[in-house]
Structure 1
Amino acid sequence: MRPKTDLMDITRAPDASDGPQYIALRDQIALNIEMGRLKPGTRLPSERQFQTGTGTARGTIREALFLLEAEGLIYRRDRSGWYVSPPAVTYDPTRWAGFMTYVREQGRKPGTETLHKHSVPASSGLADIFRVAPGAPLHVIDRRRTIDGRPVLVERITVDPALAPDLLAHSLDGSLTHILTTVYGVTVTRNRVDMRPCALVRDAADGLGVKSGTPGLLVVRTSFDAQGRVVEYDQEYWRHDAIRVHVDLTVRP
C-alpha cells in the first residue's frame, strides 16, 4: 500500500543533468514540499533509504539535507530522523504581545516550561543595561517555549526586582507579560530588538533537543517603561525554521 505522501517519489534518482546531484536531490524534495505532497511533520526516508533508492553517495545526500535544513524546509529530531518543518509563526518585534498571545492569534498552540528561576548578582554587563550597581540582585528566568508541542526556543529573561519584587514566587509557565502587567502594573512603552543568525550550541542545543551547531536565530529584546527604566532583558534562541519576522511600518513624508 502506497503512503499518502508517496515517499517513494523522493527516493528515486533525481535528474542531475543541469547541475550537481545534491542540488537536484534538494530540488526534488523541495518541490514535493512546496506542492503539498510532503505535509508538515512528515518524516523523510532515512539516509540509507535515499541511498538505496537513488544510488547516490551518502555524503551527497547529506549535502542536500543540510541545504534544506539551512533553508528551514526540514529539521532533525535527535536520534529520530528528518521531518518536514511546520509553518513558521509570524513575529512582530515592534509589539509587546507575549509569545502565548501571538502564537494563539495564529491558530497554533503555545506552551511554556520554566527550566530555572533564581536571583543572581548583576554582572558588569547586566548592571550597565539595568543601570544598577554591579552585584545588585536581578531575577533570572530560563524557559523553553513550544508550538504545537515542538520546542522552538529557549530564553533567558532578566528582570529588575525593583519593578517586580516577588516575581519568582509566581508560576512562570504562562505569560510573563500578563504577570508584569496585571500584578505589578508594569507597562512597556518601547522595545529595542536585535537579531542575528547563530548556531545553537551547549544549553540552547540541549534545551531544544537538536544537534550542536544547528542553525538558529538569536533575538535580544530590551523592554523599557515610560520612565525609561529597563523592565525586561530577554535573550531568545530560536530554531531558525520556526519564526518569520514581519514588520509593517507606516512611511511618513
Structure 2
Amino acid sequence: MRSAPDMLDLPRLADDAEGPQYLALRDRIARSIELGRLKPETRLPSERQFQTETGIARGTIREALSQLESEGLIYRRDRSGWYVSPPAVTYDPTRWAGFMTYVGEQGRVPGTETLDKRVVPASSAMADVFRMVPGAPLFYIERRRTIDGRPVLMERIVVDPALAPDLLTHSLDASLTEILKVHYGFSVSRNRMDIRPCALIRETAERLGVKSGTPGIKVTRTSFDDRGRVVEYDREYWRHDAIRIHVDLSVRA
C-alpha cells in the first residue's frame, strides 16, 4: 500500500498555486479523498512531511487541515495525527430507533460503554422537564458510543425512576430503547428535538479522544409516551463528521 504522501501526489505549492495556498492544499487533499486515493482511516502526513512535500509554511498547512476538519473530511486523533474520516451514518431524529439499531442497519458496527449510572436529585431544570418537585430522585446514565470502534458520541440520559424502577440493574451497554420497550412497555409517540452545533470541550472531548474545542453537534431529545409522560431526556454530543442528519417528512396542504 502506498503512503499518504505518494497518494496525494503534491507538487511544491509555493511555486505553482493560484489563490490562497491553504485552499490549494485543501483542494488537493479533498480531491484525493473524493477519488478514493485516500481511504477512510488513512493517516495523513505530519505537518513536517507536508512542509517538505509542498514547501509551504506550517501555519498555512494548519489552515488547510482545519478547513478540511470543519468540512468533516478529516479528523484528529489526540496525540496520533490526522486521519481521513469514515463515512457518516444517517441519523433520523424523528425515529425512536436506538443507536444500536440504526447503526447496524447501515452495515456498521455499533458499540456502547456505560461510564456512569446513578441516582441524582432533580435540578430545577430537570424537575421542570419531568414535572416533579426539585430534589426528587432521577436516574442519570452516561454512555460513550462507538462506530466501528471509533468513539463518536457521548450521551447523558435522564429517566424517571417511577416509570422504570429497577432500570439501573440492567446492563446498559445494550440498547436502552429495547430495555424500555421490552421490560417496561414504553412506546414513544412524540419526540421533541433541538439540534445545534457545539464545541466538544473538557471531559466530553477527552472521552471522545479529541482536543477541547473540536467541532461537534449537540442533540437534545425529550421523548414522550402517548399519555404525555417524559420517557427519556437525552443530551447527545456527537463528533460532527460522524452523522448525516436526514429527515423525510410528508407535507400537508
TM-score range relative to shorter protein: over 0.9
Displacement over 4 Å in runs of 4+: none
Q: Find out whether 1:185 has 2:185 as its counterpart.
A: yes
Q: Contact 1:113–1:144 at 8 Å: present in 2 too? A: yes
Tell me the SS of whatever aligns to 1:25: helix
Q: Find out whether 1:9 has 2:3 as its counterpart.
A: no
Q: What is the root-mean-square deviation of aligned Cα atoms in Å?
A: 1.3
The one-letter code matched in structure 2 to 1:185 is G
> Following TM superposition, by how much is the alpha carbon of 1:6 offset from its aligned partner in structure 2, in angstroms?
5.9
Task: Note the alpha carbon deviations across 1:177-224, whole angstroms, 9 max, x for none.
Answer: 000000011111100110000000012101101000000000001000
Q: Structure 1 unaligned runs (5+)?
A: none
Tell me the residue number matched to 2:217: 217
Tell me the residue number matched to 1:156: 156
TM-score (norm 1): 0.97
Task: Note the alpha carbon deviations across 1:116-151, whole angstroms, 9 max, x for none.
Answer: 000000000000000010000000000000000000
> Following TM superposition, by how much is the alpha carbon of 1:12 offset from its aligned partner in structure 2, in angstroms?
3.1
Tell me the residue number matched to 2:233: 233
Please give the alpha-carbon distance, in whole angstroms, between the structure 2 residues aligned to 1:201 and 1:224. Answer: 30
Taking a change above 3 Å as real, the CA distance of residues 5 and 79 of structure 1, as seen in their structure-2 partners, is closer
TM-score (norm 2): 0.97
> Following TM superposition, by how much is the alpha carbon of 1:114 offset from its aligned partner in structure 2, in angstroms?
0.1
1:59-208 equivalence runs, <5 A: 59-208=59-208
Q: Contact 1:11–1:49 at 8 Å: present in 2 too? A: no
Please give the alpha-carbon distance, in whole angstroms, between the structure 1 residues aligned to 2:233 and 2:212. Answer: 25
In the alignment of these two chains, the number of paired residues is 252
The one-letter code matched in structure 1 to 2:8 is D
Taking a change above 3 Å as real, the CA distance of residues 5 and 48 of structure 1, as seen in their structure-2 partners, is closer
The one-letter code matched in structure 1 to 2:170 is H
The one-letter code matched in structure 1 to 2:12 is A
Please give the alpha-carbon distance, in whole angstroms, between the structure 2 residues aligned to 1:18 and 1:56. Answer: 13
Tell me the residue number matched to 2:28: 28
Tell me the SS of whatever aligns to 1:171: coil
Please give the alpha-carbon distance, in whole angstroms, between the structure 1 residues aligned to 2:65 and 2:102. Answer: 31
